[in-house]
């Protein structure tokens, strides 16, 4: 047993660090959601921000958009050229994806400054890519509503998680401690 622990020490360290960071950030985020009462920003500040930024981007590419609170659920409705196309729920704000990304980066850490800068840059990239994803998805749902299932459950999750995976591969191969031998 001891030889197995020694042999796979780095693997165990990665798993324990990943789970610890992921758990801590998820608990902190859930606490934020619990404390967010929706009175000032509905349904919560980050989801509201994503919705408002989506509206700005949709308007900037020539669509007339409106984002309004959904009357029956904790979400914001996207209305494109007068047509309801989608809702933005808490899961659309990319926080859970950023938590997953950050947990991996910390668990596979490099030098402190490099880790912090890459974590910040990667989080910004994921957030921005998520905004573009919502805008393109909204436009796609406006023009091709019969493709809703394919767009929302296959193509766009593949793109956002593919982006995270690509950022992870860049991190592991260029900046983490495991790449210091190069």
Q: What is the pLDDT of residues 59-91, one digit of tens each?
A: 999 999 999 999 888 899 999 999 999 999 999
* DSSP-derived secondary structure for 75-98: EEEEEETTEEEEEEEGGGGSHHHH
Cβ–Cβ contacts within 10 Å for residue 50, how many?
Answer: 22
**pLDDT score for 84:** 96
* Among 2, 10, 5, 4, CA closest to 109: 10
Residue 42: which of 76, 65, 71 has the closest Cα?
A: 76
The pLDDT score that the predictor gives to residue 182 is 42
Q: Which residues pair with 75 in a beta bridge?
A: 89
Band of pLDDT at residue 181, cut at 50, 70 and 90: very low
Long-range contacts of the stretch 4-13 (C-beta < 8 A, 24+): none
**Mean pLDDT value of segment 45-61:** 96
pLDDT score recorded for residue 27? 97
**Strands lying side by side in the sheet with 83-89:** 65-69, 75-80, 83-89
Mean pLDDT of all residues belonging to the chain: 91
């Amino acid at each position: 047993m001891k030889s197995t622990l020694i042999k796979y020490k780095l693997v165990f360290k990665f798993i324990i660090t990943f789970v610890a960071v992921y758990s801590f950030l998820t608990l902190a985020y859930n606490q934020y959601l619990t404390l967010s009462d929706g009175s000032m920003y509905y349904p919560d500040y980050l989801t509201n921000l994503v919705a408002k930024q989506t509206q700005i981007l949709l308007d900037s590419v020539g669509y007339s958009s409106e984002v309004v609170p959904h009357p029956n659920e904790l979400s914001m409705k996207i209305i494109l050229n007068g047509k309801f196309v989608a809702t933005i729920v808490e899961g659309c704000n990319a926080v859970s994806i950023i938590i997953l990304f950050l947990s991996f980066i910390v668990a596979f850490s490099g030098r402190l400054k490099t880790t912090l800068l890459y974590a910040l840059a990667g989080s910004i990239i994921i957030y921005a890519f998520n905004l573009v994803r919502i805008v393109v998805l909204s436009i796609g749902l406006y023009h091709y509503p019969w493709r809703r299932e394919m767009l929302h459950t296959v193509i766009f999750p593949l793109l956002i998680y593919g982006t995270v995976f690509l950022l992870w591969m860049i991190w592991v191969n260029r900046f983490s401690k495991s790449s210091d031998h190069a």
